[in-house]
Amino acid sequence: MKHFLFTLLVCAVFVFAQSGFSINSSGIHVPGARTLSPGDLFIMGGFEMASSNKPASLEGYIVDENGNQRQLSKSPSNTVLGYIGYGVLDYLEVGLNVSVHYDGNAGGTRLKGLGFGDLGLMVKAQLPNQSLRDLFNIAAALEVFIPSGTNEKGLRPRHLWYIHKNDLTHSYSSADFSAAATLYLTMNIHRNVNWNNYAGVLRNFGNDENIFVYGTGFNLFPYEWVSLVLEVSGETRIRSKDILRGFMNDQLRFSPGLKVRLPKFTTLSINADLGMDLFRKRKVSRGHAITVKNKGHHYSYTVPGSPPIAASIKFSRTFDLSGRIEDYKERMNSCPKSGLSLKERKYRCAPDQDNDGIADDLDLCPDTPEEVLIDGHGCPFDHDEDGVPDYKDSCPETKQGYPVDEFGCIRDADKDGIPDELDKCPHSEAGEDVNENGCVRDDDEDGVPNALDSCPNTPAGLNVNKYGCFLDRDNDGVPDEWDKCPNSFEKEIVNMYGCPIDSDEDGVPDYRDRCENTEKGMKVDSLGCRLDFDHDGVYNEDDKCPDTPENAPVDNEGCPIDSDRDGIFDYLDNCPNTLDGTEVDANGCPIREKQNLDKIARRIQFHKGTDKPLNSAYTAFSDVVSIMRHNKKIALEIQCSVKQGEAMVPQSLSEARATVIYDFLVNKGIKEERLKATGYGLHLPSNVRGHSKLNPVGVRLIPHNFAQE
């Protein structure tokens, strides 16, 4: 485990599309998904050259902070690659990647020169799909890049994530920590064809930038001494706009090459990289605008996504360390563990008198009998840690901390499972449920053992009965010690103190309160409802006429209503529709009958079953016309109904009779807007203006204030 953790810290190679980071025994820039075998050490060294007859800048010059242009000519760029990888376990590989870069011809600036690249660390794990291994392989890698590279050298950025949109660009380094996750897929199409693929996402933490990397390539004759390789690889920013344009202009290249397998697991790789600008015209609009810094000076220019032409040569070798390691382990296992090294003992085994595999200088129990299982100190195992070794322990599962006899068993006279030395109740009966002190268990400490306790969770301090339940004389669910109202009625709803609940605080408990939401401070009766002595619907606190007769219509203040304002309250008024200013008698009826609309309405009669008025009705019509002419401020509502059995369709007949009266009045010069005629079938409305004394059948004439309508 220590060896594994150490190798995780010395992590690994990252197989990205950019030249200088793709290292594997399969492919050139697009590696395979297979990991190194356990004990295999893979070492690679290489040289890469990116150069053409074009300068590194697309403009052909660089611009300093003063606006001066410094012309560039041919700008060679070289890289020396180094990588070491190791197979830790089956399907697990770790490694370390380092590089040194050189850029020349920097337009007279100090950007020209050597510099270190960032340190790449990786852990790569392969999916152990044994059943499908002949068809394809899948792997995943986690990579970390440490910003250990040189910051103020170089013209051509080695990676897309070195180019920061709103910050300085460093050709040899990202200048920030980066991490990436990558998936790999190798498809074994044929013995002579392998198809390698990878895709991943890199995160630059300092600039919050995300880069998508990808690659695909075919290996032809992968197991022969000469293999042909055809690959396409690239890296592009993850963006939401201009995706295709960015894909073509970031970093995209085609890499033909070959691998030559030499003796002793040595491989020679030669390849060319063909960038997109080799196949199209170089344009500034397709490049990346950058600003670099050197000795306090800033230079701005535009670089292509990848060089038009690059070439590289690499040597790699795999060392099989598994045989040597296994041989060393075998020799170590053949001798007992000892503080002395094999070298000190001249490869002889250290003394081990009890032959337990632990040398005497480390053996804490040098007299252990043979064939007894021991721990790393040479002592017999004592799994229950009672001081008696397992091979002597007759009770191997003794609870930790219990005193035992020489056979490893506790002394327990009453057989309750508690040692006599710890038993505070040494005379417990067999089968009783006891606690850690050996006494009968009483979890709620109410004096009643659990076996007899019907209320096992009684709160501490309460008096209980023989069944372990708290005392509650009024059966309200509140213990007597807490009950401030100990005489509650049965099934009465009480609060936590045992007193009846009065939610609206009106002095009447909820179980008797028929008016549950009475406002606070209001006087209520025995049922919790507000007081209304005269039963007029207005509570005493608001009633200005508290002695109104029962059923008398009242206003909002509880006083009797006088709808026709004749001085006689409606409940005493036999003529509730008297016109304003009319002199009335004690019953509220006009002293002059021709001003009494109720009596006039009773005189309007019709021939049975028809809408033809009797001759006597026209005198009443004339009286109505006279009233309407002398009272210009009133409007008149005409209501008609018919008697039961008077017509097949009572509604139609009642409407026709109302219309006859309406038409007569209009013909006599009464304006239509002062009249309203309605038929009600068999029954007139039972209540008008809160009054119920109007005739229920026949004709009804109800005046209204015309000015308001």
Domain boundaries, the chain: 2-324, 384-441, 593-705
pLDDT value at residue 11: 32
Q: Are strands 77-89 and 675-679 parallel, antiparallel or unpaired?
A: unpaired
In angstroms, rounded to a whole number, what is the distance separating the alpha carbons of residues 148 and 118? 5
Please state whether beta strands 297-303 and 40-50 pair in parallel, antiparallel, or not at all (unpaired): unpaired
Q: State the pairing for strand pair 675-679/634-640.
A: parallel
Beta bridge partners of 374: 380
652 contact partners, CB below 8 Å, separation of at least 6 = 679
Q: What global pTM score does this model have?
A: 0.46
Residue 640 and residue 654 in contact, taking contact as beta carbons nearer than 8 Å: yes
On whether the CB atoms of residues 50 and 77 are closer than 8 A, the answer is yes
CA angle 584, 587, 590 (to 5 degrees): 25
> How far is residue 283's CA from residue 61's CA, in Å, rounded to a whole number?
14
Query: What is the CATH number assigned to the segment(s) 593-705?
Result: 3.30.1330.60
pLDDT of residue 200: 93
Beta strands in 263-380 (DSSP E): 266-275, 288-294, 297-303, 309-320
Indicate the SS3 state at residue 459.
coil
267-292 pLDDT tens trace: 899 999 888 888 888 888 888 888 99
Beta-strand pair 675-679/92-103 = unpaired
Is 427:416 a contact under the CB 8 Å cutoff? no
Q: Are 61 and 155 in contact (CB under 8 A)?
A: no
Q: Which two tokens stand for residue 681?
A: 């079938």
Q: Is 445 exposed, middle or buried (0-12, 13-18, 19+ CB in 10 A)?
A: exposed
> What residues are paired with 298 via a beta bridge?
293
Among 3, 36, 247, smallest CA distance to 122 is for 36
Rounded CA separation 489/251 (Å): 88
φ, ψ for residue 311, nearest 5 deg: -145, 150
pLDDT < 50 positions in the chain? 1-22, 690-692, 708-709
- Contact between 222 and 26 (Cβ < 8 Å): yes
Count of CA atoms in the C-beta half-sphere (13 A) of 333? 6
Distance in angstroms (rounded) separating the CA atoms of residues 153 and 77: 12
Compute the distance between CA of residue 42 and CA of residue 316 in angstroms, rounded to an integer: 7
The pLDDT assigned to 257 comes to: 93
Q: What are phi and psi of 260, to 5 degrees?
A: -115, 125
Burial 521-530 (b: 16+ CB within 10 A, else e): ebebeeebbb
Tell me if domain 2-324 and domain 593-705 are identical in fold: no
User: How many Å apart are CA 131 and CA 138, to the nearest integer?
Assistant: 13
Measured distance CA(41)–CA(426) in Å, rounded: 69
In CATH, what class is 2-324?
mainly beta
